[in-house]
Every structure is written in structure tokens, then in C-alpha cells.
């Protein structure tokens, strides 16, 4: 394998990235504003009272989303190995998705996704 072309591309890409980064310091307008530099915390005013009441449903929906999102990621390795796992692999993922669906229906019936 010939390494000089690879080294040339790496040097060229480093030069282009450095040039663009340096150019942004000269072209960009730096006008700091109170709104731009203030912290943003999930829609809550960060300078408000720390003991103020907030809606817990936002965190409930976020946790439920993370749980169901992570469980669905188990389907990707299964899809890649479906040919090798046979019927046992197929029925095990059908059982897993059934439990996932039952959990979703239970959470829906309990009203965890309703905002009003």
C-alpha cells in the first residue's frame, strides 16, 4: 500500500480545516448579548427561584422515551442475525416486542403521555 497519498490527503485536510477555522474568527461578528450568553435549562428560567414548582410530567415522558428507545435498539442486532438464529430467534423477538407493546399500552392507559 502506498502511504504518501494518504499522508498528503491528511495534510491537505488539516490545512483546509485550519484555514476555515481561522477564517471564521475574522468574518464572524462577535456581538455578545444577554440572551445569547445566558444558560438555557429545558425551558425553565435559570435565574428563577430554585424552590419553584415545576411539572414532573416532562421528566416522566423523557424517562419513558429513553426506556422505549433503548429497548427498540435491541431490534438492530436481531435483524442482522435473524438468518442465523432461526425460529427461536424469531419467536423470542416477537415475545420481546409483545412485552414492549403491552408496556406501551399500559403506560397509555395510565395517562402518562397526556399533558392535560
Q: Which fold has domain 54-116?
A: Methane Monooxygenase Hydroxylase; Chain G, domain 1 (1.20.58)
State the pLDDT at residue 9.
94
Contacts (Cβ under 8 Å, ≥6 apart) of 68: 100, 103, 104
The reported pTM is: 0.48
Structure confidence at residue 46 as a pLDDT band (50, 70, 90): low
As beta bridge partners, residue 44 has 41
Residue 41's pLDDT band, with cuts at 50, 70 and 90, is low
Structure confidence by residue, pLDDT tens digits, 55-82: 777 777 788 888 888 887 888 888 888 8
Percent of the chain with pLDDT over 70: 82
> 79-92, pLDDT tens digit by residue?
888 888 889 888 98
Higher pLDDT, 112 or 48: 112
Amino acid at each position: 500500500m502506498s502511504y504518501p497519498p494518504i499522508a498528503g490527503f491528511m495534510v491537505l485536510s488539516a490545512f483546509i480545516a485550519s484555514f476555515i477555522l481561522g477564517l471564521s474568527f475574522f468574518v464572524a461578528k462577535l456581538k455578545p448579548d444577554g440572551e445569547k450568553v445566558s444558560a438555557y435549562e429545558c425551558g425553565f428560567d435559570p435565574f428563577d427561584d430554585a424552590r419553584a414548582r415545576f411539572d414532573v410530567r416532562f421528566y416522566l415522558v423523557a424517562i419513558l422515551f429513553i426506556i422505549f428507545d433503548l429497548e427498540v435498539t435491541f431490534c438492530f442486532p436481531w435483524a442482522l442475525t435473524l438468518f442465523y438464529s432461526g425460529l427461536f430467534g424469531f419467536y423470542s423477538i416477537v415475545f420481546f416486542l409483545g412485552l414492549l407493546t403491552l408496556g406501551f399500552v399500559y403506560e397509555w392507559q395510565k395517562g402518562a403521555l397526556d399533558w392535560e
